[in-house]
């Protein structure tokens, strides 16, 4: 379908696709098997300017928005979700600075991020605070010109590899979630170290690691927004970035679908290419329809966000929910179309199915997305009365 992309958007799409095809596809299996962080590809993305897409021009970026980012994420995801997660988590970590940073903070951090010189990570989740992010226990105690951080963040994408971390911690424990604040912590800060790197089912090129703070002192000016705004920072960040997870779903589903079609055309059973069987045709037809519906929702949501709309929570939750449930369905069915071949590592689809699973979990599980959508429905219904 034609989504009426501008000339520049077409360029971004073509460029991301070229990188995906020429630089990601040839190495994705090896990255997966070795659980290797895709530094070479990150360097290509940097020299191709793709880290700067959504950063304002005054800080060395291209001044584009969620939509352009979604297009790039989609193309990379069609090749490898491990790679696209690394790229997308960089944006996730950058949003707090973009949305809440002071001009000084932006000047200090955004140019390096736009140029891809420094990677970013976002640290919210802890062992006892997953869906219930309000249960975080990491603290940030004001002390003179500094804050002193203590606690451990768990499962942080780009942990250990990133240079810049945006971290949510409690400045006032008594106030619970209202006592949380957001901070910028740089790699190398005294008292900041990394725990174990996780071994995962999928997106194995992406690094998932603990952030450990032991009396980690950071300058007071590293706070984002004001004390007590931590959860607003986190929620607004996720509102902006979630649509990108939807774009990952669209991409990986498209990648798996394309493999399934190619396979179905060439695989002969009972004297016919299996694509001639109606059972296969209907599966493919459903998959194609599913993908297109999700793409339309993701694109429209991204454009809605970029329009400057005030409340995008429900829309971005819907886009994430629909596109990632779709991705799990489509990758599963793509594998099914390919039978035993699909299950083999010789083909990329088993990896795509393993990878797709994470999309229903991170940046808020799909159960939580449904909760969020429902809360908004209730609010809207109450207002309408």
Partner 1 sequence: MRIVVCIKQVPDTAEVKINRETGTLVREGVPSIINPYDMHAIEAALALRESLSGKVTAITMGPPQAEAALREAISMGVDDGLLVTGREFAGADTLATSRALSGAIKAAGADLIICGKQAIDGDTAQVGPEVAEFLDIPHVSYVRKIVEAGPGSIKVERLMDEGVDVVQAELPALITVVRELNTPRLPSLKGKMNAKKAEIKKLSASEIGLTPEVVGFNGSPTQVKKIFTPEPRCGRRVLEGGIEGQVEALIKELMEKKCL
Contact 138, 153 (CB under 8 A): yes
- Nearer to partner 1 by Cβ, of 53 and 368: the residue is 53
The answer to whether residue 44 forms part of the interface with partner 1 (CB under 8 A) is yes
For ligand FAD, give the closer residue by CB, 300 or 371: 371
Task: List b or e across 57-83, with b for residues whose CB sees 16 or more CB atoms inside 10 angstroms.
Answer: eebbbbebbbbbbbbbbbbbbbbbbbb
25 forms part of the interface with partner 1 (CB under 8 A): no
Q: Tell me the closest approach of the beta carbon of residue 166 to ligand FAD, in angstroms.
A: 10
Pick what 18 binds: partner 1, ligand FAD, none; C-beta below 5 to 8 Å, kind-dependent: partner 1
Residue 9 CB neighbours (<10 A): 16
Q: CA-to-CA distance for 72 and 244, rounded, in angstroms? A: 10
The two structure tokens encoding residue 165: 């971390």
CB of 69 to partner 1, least distance (A): 12
Cβ neighbourhood burial of 211 (10 Å; 0-12, 13-18, 19+): buried
Cα 36 from Cα 329, distance rounded (Å): 27
Q: Which of 14, 221, 363, 380 is catalytic?
A: 363
- DSSP H or E segment with residue 141: strand 139-143
Q: Which of 62, 100, 122, 231 touches partner 1 (CB under 8 A)? A: 62
Select 206 or 333, whichever has its Cβ closest to ligand FAD: 206
Number of shown-chain residues binding partner 1 (CB under 8 A): 18
Q: By the criterion CB under 6 A, which residues form the site for ligand FAD?
A: 89, 121-125, 130-131, 155-157, 200, 208, 358, 361-365, 367-368, 371
3-class SS of residue 107: helix
Q: Is 363 a catalytic residue?
A: yes
- Give the residue, chosen from 3, 6, 18, 175, that forms a contact with partner 1 under the rule CB under 8 A: 18
Of 85 and 333, which has the nearer Cβ to ligand FAD? 85
List the catalytic residues: 363
């Amino acid at each position: 379908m034609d989504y009426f992309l501008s000339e520049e958007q077409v360029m971004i799409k073509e460029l991301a696709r070229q990188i995906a095809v020429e630089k990601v596809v040839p190495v994705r299996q090896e990255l997966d098997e070795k659980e290797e962080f895709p530094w070479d590809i990150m360097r290509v993305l940097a020299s191709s300017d793709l880290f700067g897409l959504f950063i304002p021009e005054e800080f060395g970026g291209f001044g584009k928005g969620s939509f352009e980012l979604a297009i790039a994420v989609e193309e990379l995801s069609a090749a490898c979700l491990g790679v696209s997660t690394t790229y997308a988590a960089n944006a996730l970590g950058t949003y707090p600075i973009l949305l809440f940073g002071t001009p000084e903070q932006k000047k200090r951090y955004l140019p390096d991020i736009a140029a891809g010189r420094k990677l970013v990570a976002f640290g919210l989740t802890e062992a006892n605070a997953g869906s219930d992010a309000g249960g975080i226990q990491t603290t940030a105690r004001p002390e003179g010109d500094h804050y002193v951080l203590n606690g451990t963040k768990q499962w942080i994408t780009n942990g250990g590899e990133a240079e810049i971390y945006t971290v949510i911690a409690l400045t006032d424990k008594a106030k619970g979630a209202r006592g949380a604040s957001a901070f910028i912590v740089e790699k190398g800060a005294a008292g900041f170290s990394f725990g174990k790197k996780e071994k995962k089912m999928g997106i194995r090129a992406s690094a998932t690691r603990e952030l450990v703070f032991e009396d980690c002192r950071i300058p007071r000016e590293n706070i984002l927004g004001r004390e007590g705004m931590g959860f607003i920072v986190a929620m607004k960040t996720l509102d902006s970035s979630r649509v990108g997870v939807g774009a990952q779903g669209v991409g990986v589903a498209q990648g798996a679908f394309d493999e399934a079609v190619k396979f179905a055309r060439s695989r002969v059973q009972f004297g016919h290419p299996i694509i001639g069987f109606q059972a296969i045709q209907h599966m493919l037809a459903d998959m194609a329809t599913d993908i297109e519906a999700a793409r339309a929702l993701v694109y429209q949501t991204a454009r809605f966000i970029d329009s400057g709309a005030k409340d995008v929570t429900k829309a971005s939750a819907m886009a994430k929910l629909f596109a990632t449930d779709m991705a799990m369905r489509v990758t599963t069915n793509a594998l099914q179309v390919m039978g035993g071949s699909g299950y083999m590592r010789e083909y990329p689809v088993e990896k795509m199915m393993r990878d797709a699973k994470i999309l229903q979990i991170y940046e808020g599980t799909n159960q939580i997305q449904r909760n969020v959508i429902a809360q908004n429905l209730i609010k809207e219904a109450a207002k309408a009365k």
